[in-house]
Chain A
Amino acid sequence: ETGVTQSPTHLIKTRGQQVTLRCSSQSGHNTVSWYQQALGQGPQFIFQYYREEENGRGNFPPRFSGLQFPNYSSELNVNALELDDSALYLCASSLDGGGNEQFFGPGTRLTVL
């Protein structure tokens, strides 16, 4: 059984740029959720994708968008990067929408200069 993987591990961008982060869900999981975790804080829910549709969204602006592909892997896109977007971005996979038990990937550390 393959766990959740994310790429890249680290990324440095400048303010105003755009970034795409990638996530492969655990084998058999059809639901992916994305989180932003600032240093010393808990993960903040960005949105969830279930069977290629956005299934739920937290309090993040529209410049945070995503995709889910037929193999259930997912992308997080962030446009017009701001300094406050610097954080660890985590994806988590689960079964059949919702997500009582979520399996997290190792995260992508994004630094915005």
Chain B
Amino acid sequence: GQSLEQPSEVTAVEGAIVQINCTYQTSGFYGLSWYQQHDGGAPTFLSYNALDGLEETGRFSSFLSRSDSYGYLLLQELQMKDSASYFCAVRYNFNKFYFGSGTKLNVKP
């Protein structure tokens, strides 16, 4: 089976940097995605890593280590609007997906 672990909740202040970790166990691993979901909204795509290393997109960066079955999402210059749930999701066996339970990020002024 598949399993993903990520922290259930993280709190940080506006302007700070926060890292959300994700460890996974899966067979047929293809890649790791990150999605953001505001309360009552739909998940929106943030990033995808298939190879080891860091991918940067504006204030958000995502990292993957396939040998450690580990990834993280880094959010810089936190803004109040970043308060949301963040999900890591593995893509496995090419066309199957498994989402974690999500990390609720609370950004405080």
Contacts and interface: CB of A to CB of B under 8 A. Distances in A.
Interface in B43-71: 43-45, 48, 50
Interface of A: 33, 35, 40-45, 48, 50, 55-58, 90, 92, 97-107
Interface of B: 30-31, 33, 35, 41-45, 48, 50, 87, 89, 91, 93-102
A40 B104 CA distance: 10
A111 to B, nearest CB: 16
Contact of A99 (B44, B91, B98): B91
Given A41-B102, A58-B98, 14 more contacts: A35-B99, A42-B99, A43-B87, A50-B95, A56-B96, A58-B97, A98-B95, A99-B91, A99-B97, A101-B45, A101-B48, A102-B33, A102-B97, A104-B35
Nearest to B44: A104
B50 A100 contact: yes
Contacts of A55: 95
30 contacts: A35-B99, A40-B101, A42-B87, A42-B99, A42-B101, A42-B102, A43-B43, A43-B89, A45-B96, A45-B97, A45-B98, A45-B99, A48-B95, A48-B96, A55-B95, A56-B96, A58-B97, A90-B42, A90-B43, A98-B30, A98-B91, A98-B95, A100-B33, A100-B50, A101-B48, A102-B97, A103-B45, A104-B42, A105-B42, A106-B42
